[in-house]
Amino acid sequence: MPRFAVLQCSDDTDYVNKKYGGYFGVFLRLLADDGEFWDVFHVVDGDFPNDEQIGVYDGFVITGSRKDAFGNDDWIRQLLTLLNKVHLMKKKILGICFGHQILARVLGGRVARAVSGGDLGVRIINVSSSTHFFGNLKTPTTLSVIKCHQDEVHELPSDAEVLASSDKTRVEMFRYQDHIMGVQGHPEYTNDILMNLIDRFLQHRLMEVIQLLIASPNGVDILSRYAKKNVLMILFCVDEYVQESHAMEVRSKLAIEQPDTELWKKLCTSFLKGRL
């Protein structure tokens, strides 16, 4: 029976744990079919498959992460070593967000902060009209996907193919030969997962600002004045790439904007399971 492994590069949130059984459960909803074996390795915590285990899998999925794909944390360097081995074995590898970026790095590409700033929310991406990679899937010319990132792929090797782009990000999808595909967005995300992430961010950022004010001269007095006047402070998102007002705008749009989840499911599973 086919066997696949998820290389999890982030910790589970309480919300995702409770509703979906962790991010592993989220990926199973998108990718798993009856009659398959799926395992998870929490590589962010140093849990990696050994060389013998690598051989039993037909394909690997690399998740998103709060870490930078251009970073040099010990686990990231170990992940690069693992992916080079899997690449040489021509195993199928699907990279999502951070996974997309780390695959570009494995292939000799370059990843850095997004030129036009991070992306958050549901975005329409444009599928290349010249690609034949999707075979007979009849992929539409545009796809909607949930985005949540501040880094992007700046350069790919010359023999990699850009499969999709957007007005925000030049490399939304790419492939290398027939065994590697990267997706900058989050096909596995649902609107409620993104909404929960935004809520957690806003709460966390507010507490950061309050703590900074309390620690500063006259900080308590400043907080008291804001509370009395009911003034909304302008906050900034993680790494200062999206303002709070934008996060709130994205949150309000999630009720009407929907990702093309079923199309992504068909596309990703067809690639991973050799049906393209």
- Which pLDDT belongs to residue 207? 53
pLDDT tens, position by position, 57-115: 999 999 999 999 999 999 999 999 999 999 999 999 999 999 999 999 999 999 999 99
List CB contacts of 173: < 8 A, sequence separation 6 or more. 100, 125, 127, 162, 163, 164, 181, 182, 183, 184
Same domain assignment for residues 62 and 130 = yes
Low-confidence ranges of the chain (pLDDT < 70): 201-256
Instruction: State which residues form the domain around 230.
Output: 191-253
The CATH number covering residue 63 comes to 3.40.50.880
Same domain assignment for residues 159 and 226 = no
Name the domain count of the chain. 2
Same domain assignment for residues 75 and 161 = yes
Same domain assignment for residues 42 and 52 = yes
Sign of the alpha-carbon torsion through 135, 136, 137, 141: positive
Out of 188, 237, 244, 268, the active site residue is 188
List CB contacts of 61: < 8 A, sequence separation 6 or more. 4, 5, 6, 7, 27, 31, 93, 94, 95, 96, 99, 272
Assigned token pair, 60: 């690997």
The three-point CA angle 145-148-149 to 5° equals: 120
Same domain assignment for residues 29 and 164 = yes
Out of 9, 97, 237, 268, the active site residue is 97
Same domain assignment for residues 17 and 147 = yes
97 classed as catalytic: yes
Out of 186, 237, 244, 268, the active site residue is 186
Same domain assignment for residues 212 and 238 = yes
Same domain assignment for residues 140 and 219 = no
- Which pLDDT belongs to residue 219? 52
Same domain assignment for residues 68 and 23 = yes
9 classed as catalytic: no
Same domain assignment for residues 97 and 177 = yes
- Which pLDDT belongs to residue 50? 95
Same domain assignment for residues 177 and 196 = no
Same domain assignment for residues 112 and 125 = yes
